[in-house]
């Protein structure tokens, strides 16, 4: 949507323009209005405006002066449309020197306004497409040279390009930002990770404009595949840099709906040395998986010296862990896994030694699985267990990940010994049918049926092909359709009755599923019945 500002000293004219047409149908959003050029100028300074419809003759500052001020003193691409009376048209001609060629003659006619909006929209679409293509091309070239420096594969050409583009400065720091999944309720898909990364990128891009940052992603490192990275050039003190990083973290908390971890490399003097800062972050992320899972800001130049001395978990500790799994005691499993990781941290074990010990536990679980697995039991549980095992053995294992895996396995074992997943899913389907209007969640249902909520979410997605929350929302939408067809209840009442506390969120979800608004759905369904 192109954001519109209407400037006219006559309130009734502003109001008439606003209600004359449905602006949204033509790709415009009426965001602001002002009674004179001075107020309009302040709005343009403070907010994002694409189109300004302005009268010529106004008190305080007229329309021509407004156009002049914006064109001469601001670095903003704003299109102006002159609102001119017949006898004022000579003034409108002066605007041509400021490259303003669009005008509407008062009194404004609906067709003329629509024709102008369609023309402007087409111009903007072409212009924005060209700008995006150029921006994408420039960024690709920039990232190519910068990544060569990060990976220590650079040539003199790479160094010269970065210096020519950004200047020859000192004090560079590599920073990596990762989105953290706070809950283990459901697995995060690749598409969701990319969506989070793209959202984080856009927020960071706006936040760091006052500092000298270069932003990039698609770093060729498996630990940074879905993250956003920065190269920060800053000649200020260490105290200033630390305070700025903390300030940035606080702003991220308020701007994005997920937790973000920041990995800060060491500061190097020259751009040629940037690979050292990057490598510190790579090592720091290896370390973080096991030792700093609860921290939001990790300074990777403080990574400790790992112990390479052989270490094995005691038989007593292994037995405690296996007993908690057999009992399917979530609280006990959680405590023991934490104690195991505390042992690793006290010993300052190298990540590879940690992985060796955890792999031993996983093999113990595999033996237990082989002893209890039933040939005629549902393959859903078996395939999920094998999939989890492969993921754990192929990568680094944080405490949260190993705990999740352990809880999954304990629930799987419990399912084999007591009942099948098919029985649970039938009960949950009945719960949805009878209690869809309540605050249903996997956690509550897991507690009800004594099964881990993450594991339950996996079984549900495999059986129905969608996540539990999506299935529940679609079921609620179908109930909403019935109410829209059969009652005269208001939209917000229907939303509340089917379990949506926020009417706006209900409308958004309804639109996603039915591709029309609830109001339009009601009109269409009733017109079909009356036909």
Q: What share of the chain is helix, strand, coil (3-state, %, to 5)?
A: 65, 10, 25
pLDDT for res 184: 45
Token pair, residue 232, equals 């920060």
Residue 337 near residue 399, CB atoms below 8 Å? yes
CATH architecture of 2-108: 3-Layer(aba) Sandwich (3.40)
Measured from the Cβ of residue 229, the count of other Cβ atoms closer than 10 Å reads 27
Confirm if 66 and 7 have CB atoms less than 8 A apart. Answer: yes
Residues 6+ apart with CB under 8 A from 282: 221, 223
**Which pLDDT band, with edges at 50, 70 and 90, does 383 fall under?**
low
Instruction: Say which residues have a Cβ less than 8 Å from residue 131's Cβ, sequence separation at least 6.
Output: none
Return the pLDDT at 392: 62
Q: What is the mean pLDDT of residues 409-435?
A: 78
Residue 123 has pLDDT above 70, yes or no: yes
* Residue 508 confidence (pLDDT) above 70: yes
Give the model's confidence band at 136: pLDDT under 50 very low, under 70 low, under 90 confident, else very high. confident
Distant-in-sequence, close-in-space partners of 38: CB < 8 Å, separation ≥ 6: 60, 61
In the chain, the N- to C-terminal Cα span, in Å, equals: 36
What is the rounded CA–CA span in Å between residue 414 and residue 368? Answer: 12
Q: Which residue has the tokens 């049918």?
A: 433
pLDDT value of position 183: 45
Per-residue confidence at 139, pLDDT binned at 50, 70, 90? confident
How does residue 391 score in pLDDT terms, banded at 50, 70 and 90? low
Written as six digits, the tokens of 303 are 């990574």
> What's the pTM?
0.53
- 515 pLDDT above the threshold of 60: yes
pLDDT at 377: 46
Strand order in the sheet with 172-180: 212-216, 228-233, 172-180, 259-268, 297-299
Average model confidence (pLDDT) across the chain: 84
**Residue 97 reports pLDDT greater than 80:** no
In this prediction, residue 311 carries a pLDDT of: 86
**Could you tell me whether strands 102-105 and 172-180 are parallel, antiparallel, or unpaired per DSSP bridges?**
unpaired
Is the CATH number of domain 143-302 1.20.1250.20? no
Average pLDDT over residues 12-27: 92
For residue 75, the surrounding DSSP H or E stretch is none
Burial of residue 406 (CB within 10 Å: 0-12, 13-18, 19+) is buried
Report the C-alpha gap between 26 and 122 in whole angstroms.
10
Task: Write the class of the CATH domain 422-530.
Answer: mainly alpha
Mean pLDDT on 262-272: 93
Count of beta carbons in the 10 Å neighbourhood of residue 68: 17
Tens-place pLDDT, residues 172-196: 999 999 887 654 444 566 777 788 8
- How far is it, in rounded angstroms, from Cα 509 to Cα 495? 11
Cβ atoms within 10 Å, residue 274: 21
Q: What is the predicted pLDDT for the residue at 376?
A: 45
What's the distance, CA 152 to chain centroid?
A: 31
- 313-342, pLDDT tens digit by residue? 999 999 999 999 988 899 999 999 999 988
Average pLDDT in the 483-511 region?
91
The predicted model gives 446-468 an average pLDDT of 81
pLDDT band at 453 (very low <50, low <70, confident <90, very high): confident
**Which parts of 8-61 are beta strand (E)?**
28-34, 51-55
pLDDT score of 530 more than 90: no
């Amino acid at each position: 949507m192109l954001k519109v500002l209407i400037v006219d000293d006559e309130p009734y004219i502003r109001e008439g323009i606003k209600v004359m047409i449905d602006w949204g149908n033509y790709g415009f959003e009426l965001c602001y209005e002002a009674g004179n050029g001075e107020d309009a100028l302040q709005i343009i300074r403070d907010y994002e405006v694409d189109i300004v419809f302005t009268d010529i003759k106004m008190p305080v500052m007229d329309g021509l002066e407004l156009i002049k001020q914006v064109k001469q003193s601001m670095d903003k691409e704003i299109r102006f449309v002159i609102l001119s009376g017949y006898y004022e048209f000579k003034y409108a001609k002066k605007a041509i020197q400021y490259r303003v060629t669009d005008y509407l003659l008062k009194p404004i006619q609906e067709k003329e306004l629509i024709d102008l909006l369609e023309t402007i929209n087409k111009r903007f679409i072409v212009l924005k497409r060209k700008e995006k293509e150029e921006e994408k091309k420039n960024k690709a070239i920039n990232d190519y040279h910068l990544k060569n420096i990060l990976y220590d594969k650079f040539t003199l050409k790479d160094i010269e390009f970065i210096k020519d583009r950004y200047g020859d400065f000192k004090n560079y720091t590599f920073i990596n930002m990762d989105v953290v999944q706070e809950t283990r309720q459901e697995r995060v898909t690749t598409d969701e990770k990319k969506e989070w990364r793209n959202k984080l990128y856009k927020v960071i891009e706006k936040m760091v404009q006052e500092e000298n940052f270069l932003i990039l992603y698609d770093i060729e490192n498996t630990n940074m595949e879905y993250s956003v990275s920065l190269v920060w050039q800053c000649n200020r003190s260490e105290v200033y840099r630390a305070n700025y990083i903390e300030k940035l973290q606080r702003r991220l908390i308020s701007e994005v709906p997920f937790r973000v971890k920041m990995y800060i490399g060491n500061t190097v003097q020259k751009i040629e040395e940037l690979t050292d800062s990057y490598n510190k972050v790579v090592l720091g992320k290896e370390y973080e998986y096991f030792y700093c899972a609860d921290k939001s800001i990790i300074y990777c130049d403080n990574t400790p010296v790992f112990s390479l001395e052989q270490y094995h978990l005691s038989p007593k500790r292994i037995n405690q862990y296996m007993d908690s799994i057999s009992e399917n005691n979530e609280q006990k499993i959680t405590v023991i896994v934490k104690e195991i990781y505390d042992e690793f941290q006290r010993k300052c074990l190298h990540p590879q030694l940690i992985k060796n010990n955890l792999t031993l536990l996983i093999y113990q679980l595999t033996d237990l699985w082989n002893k209890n697995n039933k040939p005629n039991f549902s393959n859903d549980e078996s395939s999920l267990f094998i999939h989890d095992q492969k993921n754990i053995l192929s990568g680094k294992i944080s405490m949260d990940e190993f705990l999740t895996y352990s809880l999954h396995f304990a629930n799987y074992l419990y399912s084999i010994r007591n009942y099948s997943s098919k029985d649970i899913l039938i009960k949950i389907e009945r719960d949805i049918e009878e209690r869809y209007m309540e605050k249903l969640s996997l956690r509550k249902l897991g507690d009800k049926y004594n099964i881990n909520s993450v594991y339950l979410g996996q079984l549900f997605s495999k059986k129905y092909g969608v996540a539990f929350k999506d299935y529940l929302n679609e079921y609620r939408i179908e109930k909403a359709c019935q109410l829209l067809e059969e009652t005269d209840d208001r939209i917000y009442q229907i939303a509340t009755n089917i379990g949506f506390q926020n009417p706006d969120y209900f409308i958004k979800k309804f639109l996603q599923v039915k591709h029309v608004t609830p109001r339009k759905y009601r009109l269409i369904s009733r017109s079909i019945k009356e036909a």
